[in-house]
């Protein structure tokens, strides 16, 4: 029994050290070559998937070994409260407009994703999954279950939306002349939740503050309005 | 040496602050299950700093370091995609395309809308 737990511990330590090591090496390359495609989180995830399938290691084993890393996610998200605190005064002054902008955004996101998926794929549970993809994982999963959405596809689409918005978002927003850090942060937080927020935190503190804010407010709004919108849209179709 | 000690103290202090907010967040999520614990924790952390329950100057360095490196914590959850490869093979292209397009629609809507509001506000302030 002790031997078993000792080797589990060694595996866990090795898994975590190699994950962090790989991540840091890619981060170093990204810094050196300055390209958006060398996103450390994305590349580490893809290479780990590659290694797991190649070595025929089950995800369950990997996830158990990397448990500690996953557990750090919670305090890491809590830490995003710091940039939010730094910009609290600005946010207080613009509270109403921020909520209004994010409410409209959530409405557009849910309706467009649900309808487009209904038309193209024609599957209700996938449509629900995609209409929730801009929301942070724990909330989206809870809503997906409540509305009989496909939970696995919800989780997958959330990660996709996180990377699309965070990697190409700043370039796209600058291209369409949205250059204000507040507007960029808000847009990326609303579209790409915690993954987006953690990636744009490299750009500026203002980005992080507004992205964290959008992450919270959008999640709340979506949790409240999505059941009504989806029931309503389903009754129309 | 004493500088080093105080740096270490600040790090421990920050860990304590973060963990207490995680715990309060979890309690809130248990009693009011609208938001997940981590988001409640984020809100609680913001307010404890705002009302000076924790000293922001002591916390700053550690928290900025954590945010800079938090990306690595998403890796295990992201690798979870491997469990759904069948579904992805079946509907992958549609899912990727729709996610791509609607994410851009949302980015554009929120970004333009908020920036328009900002410039409008500025032009009102000008004489």
Domain that holds residue B64: 2-125
Q: pLDDT tens across A146-167, in order?
A: 788 887 788 788 888 988 888 8
Q: Please identify which residue in the block is written with the tokens 């390209």.
A: A35
Shared domain for A189 and A118, answered yes or no, is yes
Shared domain for A230 and A156, answered yes or no, is yes
Q: pLDDT tens across A121-146, in order?
A: 888 888 998 999 898 877 787 788 77
Taking the C-alpha atoms of residue A235 and residue A228, their distance in angstroms, rounded to an integer, is: 11
Shared domain for A41 and A106, answered yes or no, is no
Q: State yes or no: pLDDT of B1 exceeds 70.
A: no
Residue that wins the pLDDT comparison between B38 and A119:
A119
What pLDDT does A1 receive? Answer: 43
- According to DSSP, residue A237 is labeled -
Q: Please identify which residue in the block is written with the tokens 């690798």.
A: B79
Q: State yes or no: pLDDT of A56 exceeds 90.
A: no
Domain that holds residue A163: 81-236
What pLDDT does B45 receive? Answer: 93
Structure tokens at A203: 């750009």
**Are B61 and A114 spatial neighbours (Cβ–Cβ below 8 Å)?**
no
B44/A48 touch (CB, cutoff 8 Å), yes or no: no
What pLDDT does B73 receive? Answer: 84
Q: Which of A75, A113, A146 is the best mutation test for B, with the most CBs of B within 10 A?
A: A75
Structure tokens at A215: 């992450």
Last residue in a domain, options A20, A41, A71: A71
Q: Which residues of A are less than 8 Å from B91 in CB distance?
A: 121, 123, 126, 153
Q: What is the mean pLDDT of chain A?
A: 85
ipTM of the complex: 0.84
Residue A11 lies in a domain: yes
Shared domain for A17 and A101, answered yes or no, is no
Q: What's the total number of domains in chain A?
A: 2
Q: State yes or no: pLDDT of B4 exceeds 80.
A: no
Shared domain for A179 and A111, answered yes or no, is yes
**3-class secondary structure for A161-228?**
HHHHHHHHHHHHHHHCCCCCHHHHHHHHHHHHHHHHHHHHCCCCHHHHHHHHHHHHHHHHHHHHHHHH
Shared domain for A15 and A94, answered yes or no, is no
| Percent of chain A whose pLDDT exceeds 70 | 98
Q: Which residues of B are less than 8 Å from A180 in CB distance?
A: 114-115, 118
Of the pLDDT bands very low, low, confident and very high (cuts 50, 70, 90), residue A36 is low
Distance from the Cα of A2 to chain B's closest Cα (Å) equals: 26
Q: How far is CA A70 from the centre of its chain?
A: 14
Q: State yes or no: pLDDT of A176 exceeds 50.
A: yes
Distance from the Cα of B33 to chain A's closest Cα (Å) equals: 10
Structure tokens at A28: 């170093």
Residue A76 lies in a domain: no
Exposed (0-12), middle (13-18) or buried (19+): which is A52, by Cβ within 10 Å? middle
Shared domain for A110 and A213, answered yes or no, is yes
A212/B81 touch (CB, cutoff 8 Å), yes or no: no
**Are A146 and A227 spatial neighbours (Cβ–Cβ below 8 Å)?**
yes
Last residue in a domain, options A30, A52, A71: A71
Of the pLDDT bands very low, low, confident and very high (cuts 50, 70, 90), residue A3 is low
Q: Which residues of A are less than 8 Å from B75 in CB distance?
A: 19, 23, 41, 44-45, 48, 66, 69
Shared domain for A65 and A114, answered yes or no, is no
Q: What's the total number of domains in chain B?
A: 1
A41/B99 touch (CB, cutoff 8 Å), yes or no: no
Structure tokens at A105: 């955004």
A137/B77 touch (CB, cutoff 8 Å), yes or no: yes
Shared domain for A142 and A62, answered yes or no, is no
CB pairs under 8 A between A and B: 282
Shared domain for A85 and A60, answered yes or no, is no
Taking the C-alpha atoms of residue B120 and residue A21, their distance in angstroms, rounded to an integer, is: 47
Q: What angle do CA A214, B120, A180 make, to 5 degrees?
A: 45
């Amino acid at each position: 029994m002790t031997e078993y737990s000792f080797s589990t511990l060694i595996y866990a330590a090795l898994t975590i050290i190699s994950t962090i090591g790989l991540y840091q090496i890619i981060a170093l390359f990204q810094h050196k070559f300055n390209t958006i495609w060398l996103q450390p989180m994305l590349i580490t995830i893809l290479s780990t998937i590659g290694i797991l399938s190649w070595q025929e290691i089950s995800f369950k084993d990997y996830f158990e070994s990397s448990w500690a890393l996953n557990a750090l996610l919670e305090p890491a998200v809590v830490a995003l409260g710091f940039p939010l605190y730094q910009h609290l005064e600005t946010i207080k002054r613009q509270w109403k407009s921020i909520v209004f902008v994010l409410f409209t955004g959530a409405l557009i996101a849910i309706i467009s994703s649900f309808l487009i998926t209904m038309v193209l794929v024609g599957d209700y549970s996938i449509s629900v999954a995609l209409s929730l993809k801009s929301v942070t994982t724990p909330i989206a999963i809870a809503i997906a279950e409540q509305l009989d959405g496909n939970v696995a596809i919800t989780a997958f689409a959330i990660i996709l939306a996180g990377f699309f918005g965070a990697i190409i978002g700043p370039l796209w927003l600058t291209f369409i002349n949205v250059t204000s850090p507040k507007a960029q942060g808000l847009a990326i937080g609303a579209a790409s939740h915690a993954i987006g927020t953690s990636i744009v935190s490299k750009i500026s503190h203002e980005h992080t503050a507004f992205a964290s804010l959008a992450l919270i407010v959008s999640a709340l709004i979506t949790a409240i309005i999505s059941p009504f919108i989806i029931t309503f849209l389903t009754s129309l179709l | 040496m004493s500088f080093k000690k105080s740096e270490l103290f600040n790090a421990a202090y920050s860990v304590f602050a973060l963990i207490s907010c995680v715990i309060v967040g979890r309690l809130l999520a248990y009693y009011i299950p609208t938001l997940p614990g981590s988001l409640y924790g984020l809100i609680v952390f913001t307010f404890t700093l705002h009302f000076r329950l924790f000293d922001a100057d002591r916390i700053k360095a550690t928290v900025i370091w954590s945010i800079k490196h938090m990306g690595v914590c998403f890796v295990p959850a992201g690798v979870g995609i491997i469990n759904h490869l069948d579904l992805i093979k079946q509907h992958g292209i549609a899912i990727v395309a729709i996610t791509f397009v609607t994410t851009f629609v949302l980015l554009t809507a929120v970004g333009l809308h908020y920036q328009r509001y900002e410039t409008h506000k500025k032009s009102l302030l000008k004489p």
